[in-house]
Amino acid sequence: MTNIDQAIENKMRAAGIASPTITAFLNAVHKVMAGDTGLQSEGEIEPIASLPALESINDSADHANAGLLDQLGVIKLNGGLGTGMGLARAKSLIAVKGPDTFLDFIAKQISHLRRGRAASVPAFYLMDSFGTQQDTLAYLQKYQGLADEHGQLDFLQNMVPKIDAKTFEPVSWPAQPDLEWCPPGHGDIYPSMLGCGLIDRLLKKGIKFLFVSNSDNLGATVDLKLLRYFAKSGFSFLMEVAERTPADRKGGHLTRRRSDGRLVLRESAQCPKEDEAQFQDIARHRFFNTNNVWIRLDHLKTELDKRGGAIPLPLIKNSKTVDPRLPDSTKVLQLESAMGAAIECFERAGAVVVPRTRFSPVKATPDLLALRSDAYRVTDDFRLVLDERRRGQPPVVDLDQQHYKLLADFENCFAAGAPSLIDCDSLKVTGKMKFAAGVICRGKVELVNESAETKVVASGIYCNEVRRVT
């Protein structure tokens, strides 16, 4: 183990990676070598019957809490590339409504929050990756005053070595050395913030609370009621969760560990195959993690110092090949962790059920179509939220991935604009199509083109039907 540790540490230090991330990664490797699969069986956990709901919390904006924004830092996780949609740049640069991208919305949200206040209050940072940093910072230059007093607007997520599945040593791939590395998941936020000195700088400025969310979730803005609730609760960590719907069956959910009663996050990659049916049972496991979290920064620093700079997050182990395009290339393990998994690492941690309006992410083109449609609206404070007429239920969109997985093909199909989905329960599109302007979908709609030629979906109302487009 010593030789393997030394090989990993040497490789990471040569790449300029800070000690906290090296410590965290070595801990993960040790777990794998000891036989830890990262799986959480149904027998080890129990469902959570109920949680406090934001809407039912008594709240008063009293004078004692008036200065909470001065003690707040906001961080957006912005490390993701749009590779799943055929892009090689930051996903946050995709246009969402009209010409506005995710980054435009985020910048406007922060500017709105700071209106009438001192510059840099609340503090704001992006956690970028090596792949997103350059494009992101260049795009945001048009927004003056976003950066802190030192001109800093972001910090970098680290990269970690892919591990040879047989030897556990860092893999070597001279044909393309960049394939020797992979992202460590957004659980890397904790050692990254510590390693670059951001935690200490924020604490020195009097920042006590952190709100962290994904850059592709435009419903996740600073909610003052939530901030006051978190400040009064005494929690070290608070997770925002939402009620699961059929569209959320495959996503991670919050549960409780039987052995010690702590709240834990179980992701799909941590579910044994034999438990998949129960994992996807939304009546059994009712709450999913929105990845909007609130953290007491001083408590986080205490835990990091106590544990040598790394919080022991549960392991997520992905088996891959070093070159994903070559199935016969060296088999590797990619070790990741989830930011929300830290909920189990704090003695005082909680969760609160929030409205669906605080969760509107884009993981693939069907999500993007829903956001561009009239099922979502832009608020006065620049949130993109599910319209109230949807009663908390987003439309279920299923686009033929053979034809609409890539953003370029998707844009061509909906060049005339998204169809109306405000009254649509579900929309399924199969085959090559191009939507005309003025398409209105109501109820359950399925559009099918069985030919190899592109067909036009004509303007008009489609209601509770399966339509063969000819």
CA distance 131 to 102: 17
- The predicted pLDDT at position 63 comes to 47
Looking at 140-254, list the stretches that DSSP marks H as alpha helix, in order from N- to C-terminal side: 189-195, 198-204, 224-233
Percentages helix, strand, coil for the chain (3-state, rounded to 5) are 35, 25, 40
Q: What is the pTM of this model?
A: 0.90
Nearest to 357 by CA among 394, 329, 401: 394
The CA angle 68-235-18, to the nearest 5 degrees, is 85
The CA angle 225-226-228, to the nearest 5 degrees, is 65
- The predicted pLDDT at position 309 comes to 84
Per-10-residue mean pLDDT, the chain, length 470: 91 94 93 91 94 88 68 96 87 94 95 79 94 95 91 94 96 95 92 94 96 94 94 96 87 92 92 94 95 97 90 90 93 94 95 91 93 93 89 91 96 97 97 97 97 96 96
Place of tokens 């030897």: 167
CA distance 48 to 43: 14
- φ, ψ of residue 300 to 5 degrees: the values are -60, -45
Q: Where does residue 444 rank: exposed (0-12), middle (13-18), buried (19+ CB within 10 A)?
A: middle
- The predicted pLDDT at position 65 comes to 54
CA distance 5 to 10: 8
Element (H, E) at 58: none
For residue 228, the number of C-alpha atoms closer than 13 Å in the C-beta half-sphere is 15
β-bridge partners, 352: 240
Residues 48-63 as b or e (16 or more Cβ within 10 Å = b):
beebeebeeeeeeeee
